[in-house]
A and B are shown apart, each in its own frame.
Chain A
């Protein structure tokens, strides 16, 4: 389902010197599989997820969604591929501040061109399931960090995209809510999605797929 080969990414330090964050990452995640990525802070986990979610172009390497080589797509093609293939949970939630919790969740359906009424029903059910149903008309600023994270989770899974990329989706949650989301990740994999999760709880992948460690720009089995 998801296949990356030789992904490389460098940034420029303020001094102008290049920082090689990813140096040839290979990764394959099949449908129904859940891969967990761990690694030290600053090792490039978020960078890798950005590349996998087409949020940024790699300097080198190839990326395949199914049998579509998405790394070769143009701007519009990448936009459409994001809407059709990817659900993304950002490390920093990234809810749109001018929209309510419910509207934030529905954004995902809007750009993917899903029918509005059905999306709305599903969004309400998801918010309810995550315990933020009564916060649906709140704006992000009126939500706690954990509540924002749960709303962001709902947005990422609304479309039931074949690819779910989650960057520390339980970072701000208590154990109970964290468990709901970890369970949600497994359920997405069970439903046939390829899931990549950056987490300090690599045990989430136990029985569902591999655990990787990102070190010195490369992925290694942990």
Chain B
């Protein structure tokens, strides 16, 4: 009996070849759409992980500088003061400048920015010890006059690793382009902080005057607009951020959780979009699957009549249908997953030439799609069976003739 089971299942499946193909197409569509939304989820989570990985601080208005970005200056002494706060493990000074002076002076998520990083300090972000590079490399300590570009900015300007870029009259070599993150860094130009400071001074007449007079005792190391701050293992980042706020005056300190909330509201559209895509995929794939499965049962209406005439009870028939629908939806589901992997792989292979990746076939998606199809298939088959056995055997036989 056991030895006969495998060929028996294979034969049942052959009888349902058309149904299995139909289910495979439905599940394939569901998985490809699902994989696209998984990709978007990964993007959004990536941005979220970034802001949750560090405490961002900015200098508060000292009336210095041109008032762009958050406006303030974060002198070297303040950076040292932050580093001395208990729970802080690393402070990376940064200079953030608008790339295009004609755009708004306020920091927005769509603004193109130059971000100068102090490469002598490790990136303190817990989740990103380096930003994900798609082509070329990221900045290294000792670099000068080189730039790494965010994906959108690079695409918009047609720049690649190896291209050259002029910033404030100086020529930079593009050494790398980042992966798309669907967040602010997509529009950033990353440069060594020394280069960013030069750009800042070049942009800012007032700063030039102050530096020349020596009145404010400013040195180059004082020219920071903000810093990324890391915290020690086991510390609560929000608590560390509050501690910095209390102990170091003249700072804007962002709580990671607050920034995360801010970011989430800015990615709300994408979240809604992917919920929509997912719902649509479930609906279309699910309807197609349920319809195919129910049709397969209705197609056998005469056989149900015959089996009931031979004494089959509703329970016996339900068990048969359940076993068959399980085998059929599992086969169709696996076929659909394979179809989606092949299709998505082919499209991604093509998209990779443009540096894109459209699908994320995560294990949870594939497992979810299979479980969903099996459950829905069983439900649809069960529903159709109920309809069929509600008829008298004679009526079922007549209708199936």
Contacts and interface: CB of A to CB of B under 8 A. Distances in A.
A153 interface: no
Interface in B345-401: 392-395, 397, 401
B316 interface: yes
Contact of A94 (B11, B15, B397): B397
Contact of A55 (B11, B392, B401): B392
Name, among B305, B309, B392, B401, the residue most crowded by chain A CB atoms within 10 Å (CB to CB).
B309
A98 B393 CA distance: 19
Name, among B15, B306, B308, B395, the residue most crowded by chain A CB atoms within 10 Å (CB to CB).
B306
Interface string B308-335: 1111111110000000000000000000
Contacts of A108: 310-311
B401 A92 contact: yes
B302 interface: yes
A56 B306 CA distance: 12
Given A50-B394, A98-B15, A111-B316, A82 B311 contact: yes
Interface in A73-108: 75-76, 79-80, 82-84, 86, 88, 90, 92, 94-98, 107-108
Interface string A12-33: 0000000000000000000000
Contacts of B309: 53, 55, 82, 88, 90, 94
Interface residues of A, number: 28
Nearest to A86: B311
Given A56-B392, A94-B397, A155 B310 contact: yes
Contacts of A54: 393
A150 B308 CA distance: 20
A76 B314 CA distance: 7
Name, among A53, A56, A79, A82, the residue most crowded by chain B CB atoms within 10 Å (CB to CB).
A79
Contacts of A96: 303, 306-307
A111 B307 contact: yes
A113 B310 CA distance: 11
Given A79-B308, A111-B307, A56 B314 contact: no
Nearest to B312: A111
B310 to A, nearest CB: 5
Nearest to A161: B311
9 contacts: A55-B392, A57-B392, A76-B314, A84-B311, A90-B397, A94-B302, A94-B309, A95-B306, A96-B303
The 7 A-B pairs at the shortest CB distance, nearest first, are namely A83-B311, A56-B394, A111-B311, A55-B394, A111-B312, A79-B313, A55-B393
Given A55-B394, A79-B312, A111-B311, 7 more contacts: A50-B394, A55-B305, A56-B392, A56-B393, A80-B313, A82-B310, A95-B306
Interface of A: 50, 53-57, 75-76, 79-80, 82-84, 86, 88, 90, 92, 94-98, 107-108, 110-112, 155
